[in-house]
Structure 1
Amino acid sequence: MLTGKQKRFLRAEAHNLSPIFQVGKGGVNDNMIKQITEALEVRELIKISILQNCEQDKDEVAKLLSKGAKAELVQVIGHTIVLYKESRENKKIELPKAKK
């Protein structure tokens, strides 16, 4: 679970990223979740855009993707979702430490 400080940090990191996946009319499927999981392993932080013709609610799409990829939902802003998952092999992002 991410703290507020960590989420703010990740939102700032994601600001300059471009969406690398699009959720369209077909909605969320297993193949998409598999590809997003692989992309998260390489990049740790990704943006996903939801197209206008997507029939599912954006919050529902965000929940399905984060649960399916076992990732943290950082933000849903407009029609864009930001997901984070710590990489096992290519750790790039150093999160601020949570206070105890």
Structure 2
Amino acid sequence: MLDSKARQDLRARAHHLKPVITVGAQGVTTPLLAELDRALFDHELLKVRLPALDKEERDSCVQALAQGCAAEVVGRVGRILMLYRQRPSNAIFVPMISKP
């Protein structure tokens, strides 16, 4: 769990980043979560572009993304979500979610 100072520092680091993942019309799917898992392993901190939905649907999308990849929500500005998951120092990528 990140404290407020760590979140603030991560938001500052994420400011210049471009969205790596875009949630499409199908919403949060297994292949999307697998791709997000891989991107978090590679980058640790990234931005996700959310679809143009109403606020409640976007909130549920944010929760599904964060829980699906065991990531922490650093911040959200409009339709852009910032996620963080620390990578162990000597880790080898093993997918959390398998593609069908």
Which band: TM-score by shorter chain? 0.7 to 0.9
Question: Are the aligned partners of 1:59 and 1:76 in contact in 2 as well (CA < 8 Å)?
Answer: no
**Could you tell me which residue of structure 1 aligns to residue 5 of structure 2?**
5
With normalisation by structure 2, the TM-score equals: 0.82
- Unpaired stretches in structure 1, ≥5 consecutive residues: 92-100
**Could you tell me which residue of structure 1 aligns to residue 46 of structure 2?**
46
Alpha-carbon RMSD across the aligned residues, in angstroms, is: 1.9
**How far is the alpha carbon of 1:22 from its aligned partner?**
0.8
Q: Please tell me whether residue 37 in structure 1 is matched to residue 37 in structure 2.
A: yes
Corresponding residue pairs, total: 90
Q: Deviations over 1:32-89 (max 9, x none)?
A: 111101111110001000132x577111111100100001111121001100000124
Identity %: 32
- Unpaired stretches in structure 2, ≥5 consecutive residues: 92-100
Question: Are the aligned partners of 2:17 and 2:46 in contact in 1 as well (CA < 8 Å)?
Answer: yes
**How far is the alpha carbon of 1:7 from its aligned partner?**
0.3
Question: Are the aligned partners of 2:72 and 2:84 in contact in 1 as well (CA < 8 Å)?
Answer: yes
1:10-89 mapped onto 2 (5 Å cutoff): 10-52=10-52, 54=53, 57-89=57-89
The more displaced of 26-35 and 82-91 is 82-91
